[in-house]
Chains A and B, each alone.
Chain A
Amino acid sequence: MNVDVTALPGIGVRKDFEVRSGRRVGVVAHRDGGLDLILSKQEDQDACAAQVPLTTDEAAALANLLGAPQLVEKLNADHRDMPGIVTRQLPVGEQSPYEGRMLGETRMRTRTKASIVAAMRAGQVHPSPGPDFVLSAGDLLVVVGTPDGLDASLAILTDG
């Protein structure tokens, strides 16, 4: 992917690229650390339809949403010849009883037979998180197991 990096003197840097539909998507990274999501207009490629300021948390959440499907798809492809095994991304919500607690406390594997193969946080993949990995709101867990096991996992994450 060819990302265009343009200096905005006095403001920061713009990083964007053109998607297949012809629009440009990217971010303006302000020098003080702020981040704006930008999306060009359909009819006027030079102009922006939206410039959305994001906090660090919001940017991380968005990165997770965008990054996780790729990982899940890859795992699903890996497991294609193993019928009955699926991969899904499960969110840790703000209301989750395990928010701020260690992964081991969920006893996920014992209770559902499903395993957590990765945790996505702030756009970063943490592969094979250990039992001492502390969950926080906005994390996405990539879980592998049977469909029933995954439903049970989701229930644990949301209701305990």
Chain B
Amino acid sequence: MGATALALVQLGSILFVLGVLGRVAGRFGMSPIPLYLLGGLAFGKGGVIELQSASEFGHVAGEIGVVLLLLLLGLEYTAPELVTGLRRSWLAGLVDIVANATPGVVVALLLGWGLVGAVTLGGVTYISSSGIAAKVLNDLGRLGNRETPVVLSILVFEDLAMAVYLPILTTLLAGMGYLAGLRTLAVALLAITVVLLMALRFGKYVSALVDSADREVFLLQLLGAALLVAGLASELNVSTAVGAFLLGIAISGSTAQNAARLLEPLRDLFAAIFFVAFGLNTDPKAIPPVLVWALLLAVVTTVTKIGTGWWASARQRIGLMGRARAGAALVARGEFSIVIAGLAVTVGAMDEKLAALASAYVLFMAVLGPIAARVAEPVVRSVQRLRRPAPVGG
């Protein structure tokens, strides 16, 4: 078979299998992310069948997937939402960071991965999947619930924290000196501040720059701008993802809505390839040695996330059941944990075990999250029943 034919056949079969897996996931109301990862593991190096030609395309497509993931995340929020979200939830956000990054940091240090490994794994266990959480809230009809704004503002805080965290991680991974690292960080923080201010004041003009009534022109300008900004950000060591995120925030109003609608299918396609590409580059044989750690982290960070949501919603005087729901809604980890791990593996030449641990961890958490959200109420109810046994006799 010719090289082109082979690449097409391999890529085609991967995409088709992903589609089938996504359909299976949908049948059970679960997130397809773990299945995509498993698909990648099966087809990658050391997997069942190794598809070499597809992995080259997968690399670039995966990068585009990350850009689109963050661009759409930015499009989802308006600058005022981010600012008010930050003001309202900073304390809960800090508790969230401390409670959920610590287990990752500790495990990384125990495994001897050093400071960079600790910062990486801390990020992996910290960040909830806003994609899975938002979908679960909608699926379970909880948008009108009183605890939902608490959950959403924690997610907003996490996404903003990512914009600060990713440049720090990139700096650390690049192994830059103290001074160069500080400079990069300053550039990143300055960029975030400038973009937020611009979006608050002049969001209209940025939107007008990319907006077009013609779908084709709009799509090309949007994608072009996103890749350009991402590339420039990467050159400044600010991380491609943050560039895309900031561009998304700067685009506002109806332009943002149209852009989100237009890019959503593209994001789904490229993000799926990103998960597969991550799986492709992870050796499944590296997973069993770290499986116990992944399980331990899964258990501990499920408890800490539930605790975070519980505490944050209790401060808003939300009832017991609402607190349990808020906590459980935050449990899922997914796309961003993999983005962080992927960054560490490609840029920083981190230990291969870290990728394996991250995949195993996300495999657990992406499955566990939606389940936790569903069983939170029944569990609390049965605990209440156990605590207060029904009065016997008259």
For residue B143, which residues in chain A have a CB less than 8 angstroms away from its CB?
8, 11, 14, 28, 36, 38, 48, 51
Q: Write the chain B residue with the least CB distance to A44.
A: B321
A interface residue count range (under 10 / 10 to 19 / 20 to 34 / 35 or more): 20 to 34
B interface residue count range (under 10 / 10 to 19 / 20 to 34 / 35 or more): 20 to 34
Interface residue? B193 (CB, 8 A): no
Interface string of A30-71 (1 = CB under 8 A from B): 011000101110001111101100000000000000000000
Interface residue? B330 (CB, 8 A): no
Interface residue? A16 (CB, 8 A): yes
Q: Write the chain B residue with the least CB distance to A25.
A: B144
Tell me whether B84 and A7 are in contact (CB under 8 A): yes
Q: How far is the CB of B220 from chain A (nearest CB, A)?
A: 23
Tell me whether A14 and B144 are in contact (CB under 8 A): yes
Q: How far is the CB of A10 from chain B (nearest CB, A)?
A: 4
Question: In the complex, what distance in Å separates the CA atom of A28 from the CA atom of B145?
Answer: 10
From A7, A40, A47, A48, B321 is in contact (CB under 8 Å) with A47
Given A9-B81, A46-B318; A40-B152 close (CB under 8 Å):
no
Interface residue? B261 (CB, 8 A): yes
Tell me whether A48 and B144 are in contact (CB under 8 A): yes
From A9, A10, A31, A46, B145 is in contact (CB under 8 Å) with A46
Q: Write the chain A residue with the least CB distance to B317.
A: A46
Question: In the complex, what distance in Å separates the CA atom of A45 from the CA atom of B155?
Answer: 23
Interface string of B109-152 (1 = CB under 8 A from A): 00000000000000000000010001000000111111111001
Q: How far is the CB of A5 from chain B (nearest CB, A)?
A: 11
Given A7-B84, A10-B81; A48-B152 close (CB under 8 Å):
no
For residue A14, which residues in chain B have a CB less than 8 angstroms away from its CB?
143-144, 148-149
Give chain B interface residues in 180-228, CB to chain A under 8 Å. none
Interface string of A1-18 (1 = CB under 8 A from B): 000001111110010100
Interface residue? A91 (CB, 8 A): no
For residue B145, which residues in chain A have a CB less than 8 angstroms away from its CB?
46-48
Binding site for B on A (CB under 8 A): 6-11, 14, 16, 24, 26, 28, 31-32, 36, 38-40, 44-48, 50-51
What would 5 A/B residue contacts be, using CB atoms closer than 8 Å?
A: A9-B81, A9-B156, A10-B134, A32-B261, A47-B322
Q: List 8 additional A-B contacts (Cβ < 8 Å) besides A24-B144, A36-B143, A47-B146.
A: A9-B82, A10-B152, A14-B148, A28-B144, A46-B145, A46-B146, A46-B321, A48-B144
